[in-house]
Amino acid sequence: MGSFMNPKCKTYNRKKIMIVFIVCFLALAGLAARLVQLMIFESEYYQELAEDLHERERSIKAARGKIVDASGTVLADNRTVCTISVVHSQIEDPERVIEVLSRELGISEETVRERVEKYSSIERIKANVEKETGDRIRAYELAGVKVDEDFKRYYPYGSLASKVLGFTGSDNQGIIGLEVVYDEYLQGIDGTILTETDARGVEIADAGEERVEPVPGNDLYVSLDYNIQLYAQQAALKALEEKQAAYVSILVMNPKNGEIYACVNVPEFDLNDPFTLNTDTDTSGLTTQEKQDLLNQMWRNQSVNDTYEPGSTFKTITAAAALEKGVVSLDDTFNCPGYRIVEDRKIRCHKVGGHGTETFVQAIMNSCNPVFIDIGQRIGVDDFYQYFQQFGLMSKTGIDIPGEASTIMHKKENIGAVELATISFGQSFQITPIQLATTISSIINGGTRVTPHFGVEIRNREGELLKQFRYETKEGIVSEKTSETMRYLLEKVVSEGGGNKAYIEGYRIGGKTATSQTLPRGTNKYISSFVGFAPADDPEVLAMCIIHNPQGVYYGGTIAAPVIRDIFENILPYLGIEKTEG
């Protein structure tokens, strides 16, 4: 009787065994499924992880290509700097490491400690450390501290052509200017240092290091000329200071092929310290976005990124359009009583009392608004708009600087009598300085629209030519006859008219002055400008000066024309343009 088992107990035990069996089966199935997942589907990931435990990789930055000017002067170069890193598993005296790195690198001990104590294969402490500092840290011979040499962008001339050249970020990639436009050519290919380690992350002594050497970037050769840029920048700074202006822009270019010799926009900024404002602005109470907005404004290239009302320099375009259409001749006579009534507007001439009777030649020499209103009416809205398109004013120039602004012009259907009148003498619309300089170049060079540019060619470190840049041109902007007439008229402006302060004995110079009010009107803020070219009969160089909000005397002929004269006096002999006899 004692060995007899209750049938209910048997059933209960059988259930228990079945449950244990099912649980074990499911566990084994789960382990098998996980094993399949690890061995087949995730094998690559874990293989990399395993390799990472036994290999430590450090990058070696490639030297960025140089930017070289027309005379062979290096405008953007590289300096050797260091990257300081730590390997947690190799550090023998963490407190000593923290103390030394904190002091030498100028980083708080708390920040250094956080990285030193972080268990990782390698932890970067600081990049772009000056080589002298890196050498000092290396001399301490601290176990677990790595000092790797790489490169940082360096600009030998500080602020020279800052808004043209641009600069790079901590990753050595271009941020603004030519640095970003030609980044694909200038960037090299980074190298690596590969070190084998044991299971604890300690480097294997006899394994050595495997190095993949970096490939340096290629060099960019540009049309910018250090000497012309430097002199133009000095002239601009002088005008900025003397006239207490907001800023001054100067462009110097070859009107025949579009090569730009100088592009100055003062105040410039320090390319070696591009995140420090060039003003005394107190940024302590500003938000991050407000500070960034101030930096973006500082980095702007006003000659390319900003538009302005050109004023009377635009009369060059109006005159060319009138000559092309055949609605004016040199001996046509006009009458200027000192104003014109256009619909309900009384538009005044700059000369109180007017110029009286004058020919077309005299009108352009005198920069007479009423006469240009008459000429604008003769051209008419439809044809004027068509000439804007023919001259290339309604599209961008295609200059190799990022962020070129477009012309801001009335829609054709919105141009009434008043708008036609104001457009004819360069007001009520806006263009960029580079657009005006390019369009005038096209009008005086025989009628070929050129593409303004800096980039000339790409060469490797050995000087071997890899790529020569080609730029679009368009012929027939104006006829050769119109171009010749415009050169004659603009030479008269300098030799006998309002641009006489740009005259240089022995040189044939053409040009046009302008003085325009900024918007809104009535604030007594002006833009004074002058565009000139030489020799007038066969232009080889065109220069333009724009002075924004000058204090005191603000007439373009009085303050901007002398700036171009001073520049021409220095650069014309330098460019091999000699004085003519008599």
SS (HEC) of 178-230: HHHHCHHHHCCECEEEEEEECCCCCECCCCCEEEECCECCCEEEECCCHHHHH
Q: How far apart are CA 523 and CA 399, in angstroms?
A: 33
Does a structural domain hold residue 32? no
23 φ, ψ (degrees, to nearest 5): -60, -45
pTM, rounded to two decimals: 0.85
Does 352 share its domain with 501?
A: yes
Q: Return the DSSP state at 528.
A: E
Q: How many CB atoms lie within 10 A of CB 323?
A: 24
Q: 230: burial class by Cβ within 10 Å (0-12, 13-18, 19+)?
A: middle
SS (HEC) of 87-149: CHHHCCCHHHHHHHHHHHHCCCHHHHHHHHCCCCCCEEEEEEEEHHHHHHHHHCCCCCEEEEE
Q: How far apart are CA 537 and CA 192, in angstroms?
A: 59
SS (HEC) of 277-304: CCCCCCCCCCCHHHHHHHHHHHHCCHHH
Does a structural domain hold residue 40? no
CATH of the domain at 506: 3.40.710.10
For 142, 265, 308, 409, 460, the CA distances from 431, given in Å and listed in that order, are 61, 16, 6, 8, 38
Does 217 share its domain with 312?
A: no
Q: Tokens 């990058």 label which residue?
A: 59
CA of residue 319 relative to chain centroid, distance = 33
Residue at a domain's end among 162, 195, 222: 222
Q: Token pair of 502, please?
A: 């740009």
Domain that includes residue 338, residue range: 260-452+474-574
Does a structural domain hold residue 457? no
pLDDT at residue 212, as a whole number: 85
* Mean pLDDT per 10-residue interval, the chain, length 582 residues: 56 74 81 72 59 59 94 95 89 93 93 88 87 94 89 94 94 92 94 67 56 91 98 97 96 98 97 91 86 95 96 96 97 95 92 94 96 97 96 96 96 95 95 98 98 98 96 96 98 95 96 85 85 97 97 92 97 93 58
- The closest of 276, 289, 170, 258 to 441, measured between CA atoms, is 258
pLDDT at residue 523, as a whole number: 73
Does a structural domain hold residue 377? yes
Does a structural domain hold residue 165? yes
pLDDT, tens only, 347-394: 999 899 999 999 999 999 999 999 999 999 999 999 999 999 999 999
Does 159 share its domain with 274?
A: no
Active-site positions? Answer: 312
Q: How many CB atoms lie within 10 A of CB 424?
A: 27
Does a structural domain hold residue 357? yes
- For helices 480-495 and 433-444, angle between their N-to-C axes, nearest 10 degrees: 110
Q: How far apart are CA 61 and CA 184, in angstroms?
A: 15
Domains in the chain: how many in total?
Answer: 2
Does 212 share its domain with 303?
A: no
For 443, 463, 503, the CA distances from 450, given in Å and listed in that order, are 10, 28, 27
Q: Token pair of 252, please?
A: 């110097």
Does 217 share its domain with 272?
A: no
Does 61 share its domain with 189?
A: yes
Does 175 share its domain with 264?
A: no
CATH of the domain at 66: 3.90.1310.10
Does a structural domain hold residue 41? no
- The closest of 477, 529, 146, 30 to 309, measured between CA atoms, is 529
Does a structural domain hold residue 464? no
Does 215 share its domain with 277?
A: no
pLDDT, tens only, 131-166: 999 999 999 999 989 998 888 899 999 999 999 999
Q: How many CB atoms lie within 10 A of CB 70?
A: 18
Does 131 share its domain with 272?
A: no
Does 214 share its domain with 286?
A: no
Q: How far apart are CA 310 and CA 529, in angstroms?
A: 8
Does 439 share its domain with 295?
A: yes
Does 406 share its domain with 300?
A: yes
Residue at a domain's end among 176, 204, 222: 222
371 φ, ψ (degrees, to nearest 5): -65, -40
In this structure, the dihedral spanned by the alpha carbons of residues 288, 289, 291 and 296, taken in order and rounded to 10 degrees, is 140
E runs forming strands in 426-540: 455-459, 465-468, 510-517, 526-534
Residue at a domain's end among 192, 222, 252: 222
